[in-house]
């Protein structure tokens, strides 16, 4: 007969799965289409810098932290994460984005918004909106 395996250290046995809201946000550009309206290439240098700062902040947050920055109009803070029904959008959803997915926006600056969809804890960027054209207000 062989030896019994050594028991794992206590810390290894107490590892619990991380709740999806506590997972850091990952970014994807797989659904983004360069050269179309709301393309980053249409932005000036300052707008590009603001977008990159916003994306950097997003990548350093958890979903719980991001969602806590949403809220009712007038009560939003930080990136002001907001999920929209399609009837609030002034543009058509891209063909590559499933109608089952809700489009959400984050505030990059007072004018600039970045829109995308969440799929399995990944924020997929689809639009860079320079002038509040995607959603009025």
DSSP E strands in the chain: the ranges are 26-28, 82-84, 103-107, 113-119, 122-129
- Confidence (pTM): 0.81
Rounded to an integer, what distance in angstroms lies between the CA atom of residue 7 and that of residue 12?
10
Please report, for residues 82, 93, 99, the alpha-carbon distance to residue 89 in angstroms, rounded to integers and kept in the order given: 12, 8, 13
- Structural domain boundaries in the chain: 20-129
Q: In the prediction, which pLDDT does 48 show?
A: 96
- Domain at 20-129, CATH from 3.40.50.2300, 3.30.365.10, 3.40.50.300, 3.30.2310.20: 3.30.2310.20
pLDDT of residue 89: 95
Please tell me the predicted confidence (pLDDT) of residue 15: 63
Cβ atoms of 58 and 106 within 8 Å: the answer is: yes
pLDDT tens across the length of the chain (137 residues):
567 666 656 555 566 666 667 778 999 999 999 999 999 999 999 999 999 999 999 999 999 999 888 755 555 668 999 999 999 999 999 999 999 999 999 999 989 999 999 998 899 999 999 998 999 76
How far is residue 37 from each of residues 59, 73, 84, 103, measured CA to CA in Å?
A: 25, 26, 19, 16
């Amino acid at each position: 007969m062989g030896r019994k395996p050594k028991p794992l250290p206590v810390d290894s046995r107490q590892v619990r799965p991380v709740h999806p809201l506590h997972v850091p946000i990952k970014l994807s550009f797989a659904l983004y289409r360069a050269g179309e309206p709301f393309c980053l290439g249409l932005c000036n240098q300052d707008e590009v810098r603001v977008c990159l700062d916003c994306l950097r902040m997003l990548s350093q947050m958890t979903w719980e932290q991001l969602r806590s920055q949403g809220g009712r109009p007038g009560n939003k803070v930080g990136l002001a994460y907001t999920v929209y029904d399609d009837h609030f959008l002034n543009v058509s959803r891209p063909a590559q984005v499933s109608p089952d997915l809700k489009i959400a926006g984050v505030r990059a600056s007072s004018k600039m918004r970045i829109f995308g969809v969440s799929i399995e804890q990944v924020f997929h960027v689809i639009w860079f909106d320079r002038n509040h054209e995607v959603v009025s207000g």
